[in-house]
Every structure is written in structure tokens, then in C-alpha cells.
Amino acid sequence: MEVSYTEARARLAHLLDRATEDREVVRIRRRGREPVALLAAEELEGLLETAHLLRSPKSARRLLAALRRAVKGTGRARSVSSLRRDVGLRKR
């Protein structure tokens, strides 16, 4: 979705709802300036976390391999307790 700065000012509450409830990114055009994007904070946090995880080539390979397995349906379901055991975490 893309709106002008003037429209964004007039409909801010509605645009905030679109960003948070519908997870829609709202691009705001500004005359003579670079556009900005409005998105839900959780969406931004997810994007930043993904970028961080993909920064390491080893981590990126592991994550992409896991994604391929999930898409193909060839992965196996694991319980949280078995995953905790495998990585050495105790229950809280």
C-alpha cells in the first residue's frame, strides 16, 4: 500500500491498524524526499532477527536446509523437551 504524506497524516490511525492487524507495509511518499515505510514493530523485529541469523554463512546454510526440509515435508517433528536436552538447556 502506498499513500502520500498528506493522506498518511489524515488517516494515521487507520494506517497503523493496517500495519498491525493486516501486517501490511504502508509506504509513505514525501515530496522531494525519500519515501518511508510504516510496519508493525513485530514485523521489523522478525526481519532484523532473520538478517542477523543469515549474516553467518554457516547459519544461513543450516536455516535454508531446514526450510527446504520443511517445505518438502521431510523433516521430523521434535518436542521442545527433546530439543532442550539436545542443546543442554534445563527446564525453567
Q: Can you list the domains of the chain with their CATH numbers?
A: 2-41 (3.40.1620.10)
Give the pLDDT of the chain (92 residues) as one tens digit per residue: 999 999 999 999 999 999 999 999 999 999 999 999 999 999 999 999 989 989 999 989 988 998 899 899 887 788 888 888 877 777 65
pLDDT of residue 92: 59
Q: According to the 3-state scheme, what is the secondary structure of 48-89?
A: HHHHHHHHCHHHHHHHHHHHHHHHHCCCCCCCHHHHHHHHCC
